[in-house]
Chains A and B, each alone.
Chain A
């Protein structure tokens, strides 16, 4: 174990050592800075949206401004935050160390992925700032998008380019897991985070090219009117929706699977217990990745697809509940008779259980054909996918960042501040999004900048929207608090021990306070599973003789 002068941060100095790095850990930090910036941007846009809706009538945005803001909020959060964040930040930093590798299989490709991602992000921002308005929503439905401003050309190109970043990241992790495992790191000794990132990689590799070609066709539709998607030219807009959701539904699992992996690791570590149903959790990730490809039609129940298709898609959608339920029950069972240690990461894991279960179960509700006809395009759907995307994916990310923070930065954060912020996030999140279930089930449509005309029939829309907006401010305060104590910890935080959580996976047991540039002095020899606390004499010392 090394101390001080030879860790991955101090090994090389200067800006160029970061911009040209092929070290998976540093690339993870590059992703963290990029995604963190975009998350801040997307969050600010979200508070604009909520402020506009907080009171009836025009508050701060007119209708065109509102349409642009919610479109950009969606594009930024989906393509620049939730999809890349966990694989990009934590997958990069943690996965190679967890399997005992010195790096990913293709380090230069890994760096290229980050540059592609940044190129895509800059194209999106450029198009938005200098080319024109985009108010299509993040889904770019035709014919609206093919008739919108030329900024659509920039945004579709941005999605295409950033998509390749996602493909190469997934490809890299699949090959890394197959070919780079340390001796003794068998498939059933992989940490569950690795299994989750592996399953995510499969989805990234198989689904992302389809959004790529969809964006190419949409680009050409707008540029040359090729008539594939635009009904005015004989094209079929529903075909666009099929193409779009063939990627974008599996993309939902690109977002949630890595978070599920984090939760599995947190449950094991902070319950001091073998994760219950290890094999089932591992394979349910693969099952979700597979089933995720068969359900895209449930986004199109009212778009004019045949009744038979809708019935089949509805049934397949219910099947997703099985592997997901397997995970949730096994996480709960992991805590049972465990020694639960309620630190900040574990609080986020529990929060995930609660919020994701609500998000998942309401997902089953909107998967029911008849119910969906009522709820489609209402705030119920908005609430549902925020419970999954924010309450699931982002809460998982925040929990994971708290968990691996000491390993990434070598410093601890203030635990009390962490707990307070977590409570604020939890309260703020629920106050924001729970009222939206009521709003949606009463018929409040999504993507409207105003609801004044609806108030005579639905007077409850005003107080519910106000509560939701107040909640979003509480949520913002909680998230900003995390930013503040994280930055404080970065410069002033107390130095962390090598394994502050008493975890059993290699990144904690076989590296120093900060990992070396090449992770390990000697390739680890793995002799136990990732959560075999009973066998972890290297963590807890030899067992006492009875």
Chain B
């Protein structure tokens, strides 16, 4: 048992067992996350296969440049998280704090971009569900011409998928804030850094889901 706050719970035999159990549990949780999103991906696939031309047309209203920016931002945050795990294993906690703060910053940028995307859509009547009533002109696109059957389905799926993904980003930000304070207070060591590793796993999943959302919604 090291002096840096690591605790072996009484029901584990040793630290390896405790770490392995936590990691397996986290992987199983990530599996449930993938299945949670899979329902939405299936809904996307079904409606796309039924109305491909509508989906192609409706996706024109999503700005691929903003989507691409967010993709780069999230990829960068995954990189900083991976580095933070690397440095916590080496015990360089100062670097870990900086890297986690950078991750937090990236996540915040992602949400700000998302905010502008959403509010831009809302201001032109592009709502999920019953409020769908596109109007106005942006970038030479007349929104009212997108008021076609099954375009609401595209935007419902867009808002639900990116919305639930956004909730995951917000949850991740909360966890990073908690994690940064613990790292700064020296709670972790090369012998025990389980929460950093598990949060990293979670964050990579959030990233991977976006990697699929971006092309499916914005590009094709």
Tell me the bound Cα distance from A210 to B9 in angstroms.
33
Does B31 belong to the interface (CB within 8 Å)? yes
Binds B, one of A72-80, A99-107, A306-314: A99-107
Q: Which of A148-206 contact B (CB under 8 A)?
A: 167, 171-172, 174-176, 178-180, 205-206
Tell me the bound Cα distance from A423 to B159 in angstroms.
57
Identify B153's interface contact among A172, A205, A227, CB under 8 A: A227
Q: Mark A203-231, 1 if CB is under 8 A from B, else 0.
A: 00111111011101100100011111000
Closest to A174 in B: B28
Closest to A103 in B: B11
Tell me the bound Cα distance from A489 to B149 in angstroms.
66
Tell me the bound Cα distance from A178 to B128 in angstroms.
44
Which residues of chain A are within 8 angstroms of B42 by Cβ–Cβ distance? Answer: 243
CB atoms of A226 and B156 under 8 A apart: yes
Tell me the bound Cα distance from A225 to B40 in angstroms.
16
CB atoms of A105 and B39 under 8 A apart: no
Q: How far is the CB of A486 from chain B (nearest CB, A)?
A: 30
Which residues of chain B are within 8 angstroms of A213 by Cβ–Cβ distance? Answer: 36-40
Does B105 belong to the interface (CB within 8 Å)? no
Which residues of chain B are within 8 angstroms of A224 by Cβ–Cβ distance? Answer: 127-131
Which residues of chain B are within 8 angstroms of A235 by Cβ–Cβ distance? Answer: 153
Does B177 belong to the interface (CB within 8 Å)? no
CB atoms of B32 and A179 under 8 A apart: no
Tell me the bound Cα distance from A210 to B10 in angstroms.
35
CB atoms of A210 and B35 under 8 A apart: yes
Q: Mark A95-125, 1 if CB is under 8 A from B, else 0.
A: 0000001111111010000000000000000
Q: Which of B33-78 contact A (CB under 8 A)?
A: 33, 35-40, 42-43, 46-47
CB atoms of A227 and B24 under 8 A apart: no
Q: How far is the CB of B149 from chain A (nearest CB, A)?
A: 6
Which residues of chain B are within 8 angstroms of A167 by Cβ–Cβ distance? Answer: 32
Tell me the bound Cα distance from A243 to B43 in angstroms.
9
Does A374 belong to the interface (CB within 8 Å)? no
Does A239 belong to the interface (CB within 8 Å)? yes
CB atoms of A226 and B150 under 8 A apart: no
Identify A234's interface contact among B13, B39, B40, B150, CB under 8 A: B150
Closest to B155 in A: A226
Q: How far is the CB of A201 from chain B (nearest CB, A)?
A: 9
With A174-B28, A224-B130, A227-B152: A217-B160 Cβ-Cβ less than 8 Å:
yes
Tell me the bound Cα distance from A109 to B28 in angstroms.
14
Closest to B40 in A: A213
CB atoms of A239 and B130 under 8 A apart: no
Q: Mark B149-167, 1 if CB is under 8 A from A, else 0.
A: 1101100110110001000
Q: Which interface residue of B11, B130, B164 has the most chain A CB atoms within 10 A?
A: B11
Does B219 belong to the interface (CB within 8 Å)? no
Tell me the bound Cα distance from A174 to B31 in angstroms.
13
Tell me the bound Cα distance from A36 to B129 in angstroms.
41
Identify B11's interface contact among A180, A214, A226, CB under 8 A: A180
Q: Which of A287-321 contact B (CB under 8 A)?
A: none
Does B21 belong to the interface (CB within 8 Å)? yes
Tell me the bound Cα distance from A226 to B128 in angstroms.
6
CB atoms of B24 and A178 under 8 A apart: yes
Identify B156's interface contact among A105, A209, A228, A239, CB under 8 A: A228
Which residues of chain B are within 8 angstroms of A176 by Cβ–Cβ distance? Answer: 21
Chain B interface main SS type: helix
Which residues of chain A are within 8 angstroms of B37 by Cβ–Cβ distance? Answer: 213
Q: Which interface residue of A210, A224, A226 has the most chain B CB atoms within 10 A?
A: A226
Does B117 belong to the interface (CB within 8 Å)? no
Does A442 belong to the interface (CB within 8 Å)? no
CB atoms of A209 and B11 under 8 A apart: no
Which residues of chain A are within 8 angstroms of B94 by Cβ–Cβ distance? Answer: none
Does A233 belong to the interface (CB within 8 Å)? yes
CB atoms of A228 and B24 under 8 A apart: no
Q: Which of B92-134 contact A (CB under 8 A)?
A: 127-131
Does A236 belong to the interface (CB within 8 Å)? yes
Closest to A183 in B: B13
Does A249 belong to the interface (CB within 8 Å)? no
Tell me the bound Cα distance from A505 to B37 in angstroms.
41
CB atoms of A205 and B28 under 8 A apart: yes
CB atoms of B36 and A228 under 8 A apart: no
Closest to B152 in A: A227
Which residues of chain B are within 8 angstroms of A239 by Cβ–Cβ distance? Answer: 43, 46
Does A447 belong to the interface (CB within 8 Å)? no
Does A518 belong to the interface (CB within 8 Å)? yes
With A209-B32, A220-B128, A228-B157: A102-B43 Cβ-Cβ less than 8 Å:
no
Q: How far is the CB of B30 from chain A (nearest CB, A)?
A: 11
Closest to A239 in B: B46
CB atoms of A220 and B24 under 8 A apart: no
Q: How far is the CB of A305 from chain B (nearest CB, A)?
A: 13
Q: Mark B79-93, 1 if CB is under 8 A from A, else 0.
A: 000000000000000
Tell me the bound Cα distance from A519 to B156 in angstroms.
52
Closest to A519 in B: B11
CB atoms of A175 and B43 under 8 A apart: no
Identify A102's interface contact among B10, B21, B25, CB under 8 A: B10
Tell me the bound Cα distance from A103 to B9 in angstroms.
10
Closest to A246 in B: B39
Tell me the bound Cα distance from A180 to B24 in angstroms.
12
Which residues of chain A are within 8 angstroms of B157 by Cβ–Cβ distance? Answer: 228
Tell me the bound Cα distance from A179 to B28 in angstroms.
14
Does B147 belong to the interface (CB within 8 Å)? no
CB atoms of B24 and A234 under 8 A apart: no
CB atoms of B46 and A209 under 8 A apart: no
Does B181 belong to the interface (CB within 8 Å)? no
Q: How far is the CB of A107 from chain B (nearest CB, A)?
A: 7
Q: How far is the CB of A60 from chain B (nearest CB, A)?
A: 40
B residues at A contact (CB < 8 Å):
9-13, 17, 20-21, 24-25, 28-29, 31-33, 35-40, 42-43, 46-47, 127-131, 149-150, 152-153, 156-157, 159-160, 164
Can you list 15 contacts pairing A with B, beta carbon distance less than 8 Å? A102-B10, A105-B25, A171-B25, A175-B28, A180-B12, A205-B28, A206-B32, A206-B35, A212-B36, A224-B128, A225-B129, A226-B128, A234-B149, A234-B153, A243-B39
Q: What would 10 more interface pairs be, CB under 8 Å, given A176-B21, A178-B21, A205-B28?
A: A105-B21, A109-B25, A175-B21, A179-B21, A207-B35, A209-B32, A209-B33, A216-B164, A217-B39, A518-B11
A residues at B contact (CB < 8 Å):
101-107, 109, 167, 171-172, 174-176, 178-180, 205-210, 212-214, 216-217, 220, 224-228, 233-236, 239, 243, 518, 523
The 3 lowest CB-CB distance pairs between A and B, nearest first, are A224-B129, A213-B39, A226-B156
